[in-house]
C-alpha cells in the first residue's frame, strides 16, 4: 500500500489530526498527553509504594491514581498506532543511542519535560493543540515559555555539538 | 459517556495519531528546534496549519457552548513549566508525542526519555506535597491571585461573555495571524530556494570555466 511506502506530508497528517481533535474536543476534551502520563506515573508509583503513596498529598489532591482515565489511552494508542505503522512500512528496528553523552542528554531532557509538565499543568500537546487553539490565556504563556525554552535548549545543544 | 467508552474513543484517536505521526515523521520538537537552529520549517508549517484549523473549530463550538475546553487557572508556573519543557525536549530530541511514537518504532532512547519523564513527574509530586504550589485545581478561583502568582482563567468563551462578541470571531482573527506567519515562512522558503539555485548555477559556471 502506497501509504506505507512513502513518507506522508506532515501538513496533511496534522490537518487530519486537527479534524479528529475537534471531534475529541466535542466528546471528551482536546488531545493531551501530559495528564495521561501523570496518571501512569501515579499508577506505577502505587504499584511500588502501595498505600504509602497516600502520604504524598499530590496523589490525593491533584491526581488520585485510577486506571479508567481516558487520557492514559491516548498515549497507549499512539504507541500502538506507531508500532503498527512502523511494522507495516518495515521501519521497525531496535535503535539504541551509542554514546554515553546521548544517554545523559536524554535523561536530563526527560526529567526536565516531566518536571515542566507538572509545574505548568500542561504539556506541549495541550499548549498547541488545546489551550492555544481555545485562545486560553495559558496557551499564550505556554507558547512563549516553550519557544524561549527551545531557544535556550538549542543554544546548549549547539555548544555541546561544537564541543 | 461511560469511562470505558471514553477510554476506547481516546485509544482510537491515539492510534490514528500514532499512525499519522509515524508515517509523516512530524515532530513538535523539530517544529521549534529546526526553525531556530537550521531555519527549516517542514514541521513548523504543519503545526501552524493544525492550529489554524483548531482555532476556528474549537472557538466555533465554544461560541455555542459545546465541547470541553480546558478550565483551570494559569500563571507564572505555566510559562516556567513550558520553559523547562522546551529545554528538555531539545536535549532529549523528542517531545511527549515523539517519545511514544519513537518508542513504538523500537527506539530505546525514546523509551528512556519517557521513563525519565515519569521520574521527573514523580520528583515534582514530592516537591508539590511540600509547598502545594501551583494551586491544585480544587482550590483554583478563576480570578487573579497574585500571592500565588496566578492570573486566573480566560479563553475565547470568557471574552465572548464579557464583550458580547462571538468566540469564533476571535478564532478567525487568531487563524489569520497564524496564516500570516505561514505565508511569511513560504516567502522565506522561496527566497532560500532562489539563493540555493543561484549558488548552484555559480558552482556549475565555475566548474565549466
Contacts of B114 in chain A (CB under 8 A): 37, 110
* A39 inside 8 A of chain B by CB: no
pLDDT value of residue A123: 96
pLDDT at residue B139 in the model: 83
Q: For residues A133 and A82, what is the distance between their CA atoms, to the nearest angstrom?
A: 25
pLDDT of residue A1: 80
Residue A37 has a CB neighbour count (10 Å cut-off) of 27
B170-185 tens-digit pLDDT: 999 999 999 999 999 9
Give B57's contacts (C-beta < 8 A, 6+ positions apart).
A18, A19, A21, A22, A25, A133, B171
Q: Where are the alpha helices (DSSP H) in chain B?
A: 3-24, 28-37, 42-63, 76-92, 96-104, 108-131, 156-163, 167-208
Instruction: Give pLDDT tens digits for B86-126.
Output: 999 999 999 999 999 999 999 999 999 999 999 999 999 99
Residue A36 C-alpha cell reads as 495521561
Per-residue tens of pLDDT for chain A, all 163 residues? 889 999 999 999 999 999 999 999 999 999 999 999 999 999 999 999 999 999 999 999 999 999 999 999 999 999 999 999 999 999 999 999 999 999 999 999 999 999 999 999 999 999 999 999 999 999 999 999 999 999 999 999 999 888 7
CB A129 within 8 A of CB A33: no
Decide if pLDDT at B209 tops 80: no
pLDDT tens-digit map of B62-88 = 999 999 999 999 999 999 999 999 999
Q: Which helix (H) or strand (E) holds B152?
A: strand B150-152
Percent of chain B with pLDDT over 90: 93
Closest listed residue to residue B53, CA positions, set A33, A127, A11: A11
Q: Please indicate whether residue B51 or residue A1 has the higher confidence score (pLDDT).
A: B51
User: CA A154 to CA A160: how far, in whole Å?
Assistant: 10
The pLDDT score that the predictor gives to residue B208 is: 86
Confidence grade of residue B137 (pLDDT, cut at 50, 70, 90): confident
Contact assignment for A124 to B57 by CB distance below 8 Å: no
Q: Is B180 on the interface with A (CB under 8 A)?
A: no
Confidence (pLDDT) at A161: 81
Backbone angles phi, psi at A31, to 5 degrees: -50, 130
Q: What local confidence, expressed as pLDDT, does residue B169 receive?
A: 98
| pLDDT over 80 at B130, yes or no | yes
Q: Tell me the count of A-B CB pairs closer than 8 A.
A: 512
Q: Which residue has the higher pLDDT, A163 or B61?
A: B61
The phi and psi torsions of B107 (rounded to 5 degrees) equal -90, 110
Helices A100-120/B96-104 angle, 10° precision: 130
What pLDDT was estimated at residue B140?
87
CB–CB contact A124 B82 (8 Å): yes
Alpha helices (H) along chain A:
10-27, 34-49, 58-61, 70-88, 100-120, 124-126, 137-161
Residues 52-81, chain A: which have Cβ within 8 Å of B?
56-59, 61-63, 68-81
Amino acid at each position: 500500500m502506497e501509504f506505507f511506502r512513502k513518507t506522508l506530508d506532515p501538513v496533511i497528517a496534522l490537518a487530519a489530526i486537527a479534524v479528529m481533535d475537534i471531534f475529541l474536543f466535542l466528546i471528551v476534551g482536546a488531545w493531551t498527553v501530559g495528564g495521561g502520563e501523570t496518571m501512569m506515573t501515579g499508577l506505577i508509583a502505587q504499584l511500588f509504594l502501595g498505600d504509602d503513596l497516600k502520604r504524598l498529598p499530590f496523589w490525593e489532591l491533584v491526581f488520585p491514581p485510577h486506571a479508567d482515565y481516558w487520557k492514559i489511552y491516548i498515549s497507549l494508542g499512539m504507541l500502538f498506532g506507531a508500532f503498527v505503522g512502523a511494522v507495516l512500512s518495515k521501519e521497525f528496528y531496535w535503535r539504541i543511542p551509542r554514546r554515553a553523552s546521548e544517554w545523559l542528554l536524554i535523561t536530563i531532557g526527560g526529567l526536565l519535560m516531566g518536571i515542566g509538565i507538572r509545574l505548568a499543568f500542561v504539556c506541549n500537546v495541550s499548549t498547541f493543540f488545546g489551550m492555544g487553539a481555545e485562545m486560553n490565556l495559558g496557551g499564550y504563556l505556554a507558547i512563549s515559555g516553550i519557544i524561549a525554552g527551545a531557544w535556550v535548549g538549542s543554544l546548549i545543544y549547539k555548544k555541546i555539538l561544537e564541543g | 459517556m461511560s469511562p470505558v467508552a471514553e477510554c476506547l474513543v481516546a485509544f482510537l484517536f491515539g492510534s490514528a495519531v500514532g499512525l499519522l505521526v509515524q508515517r509523516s515523521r512530524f515532530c513538535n520538537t523539530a517544529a521549534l528546534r529546526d526553525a531556530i537552529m537550521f531555519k527549516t520549517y517542514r514541521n513548523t508549517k504543519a503545526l501552524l496549519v493544525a492550529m489554524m484549523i483548531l482555532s476556528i473549530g474549537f472557538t466555533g463550538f465554544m461560541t455555542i457552548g459545546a465541547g470541553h475546553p480546558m478550565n483551570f487557572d494559569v500563571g507564572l508556573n505555566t510559562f516556567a513549566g513550558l520553559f523547562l519543557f522546551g529545554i528538555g525536549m531539545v536535549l532529549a530530541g523528542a517531545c511527549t508525542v515523539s517519545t511514544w511514537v519513537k518508542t513504538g518504532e523500537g527506539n530505546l532512547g525514546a523509551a528512556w526519555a519517557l521513563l525519565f519523564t515519569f521520574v521527573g513527574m514523580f520528583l515534582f509530586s514530592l516537591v508539590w506535597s511540600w509547598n502545594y504550589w501551583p494551586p491544585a485545581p480544587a482550590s483554583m478561583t478563576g480570578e487573579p491571585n497574585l500571592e500565588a502568582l496566578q492570573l486566573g482563567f480566560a479563553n475565547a468563551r470568557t471574552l465572548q461573555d464579557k464583550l458580547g462578541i462571538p468566540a469564533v470571531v476571535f478564532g478567525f482573527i487568531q487563524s489569520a495571524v497564524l496564516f500570516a506567519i505561514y505565508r511569511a515562512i513560504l516567502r522565506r522558503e522561496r527566497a532560500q530556494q532562489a539563493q540555493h539555485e543561484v549558488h548552484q548555477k555559480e558552482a556549475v559556471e565555475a566548474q565549466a570555466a
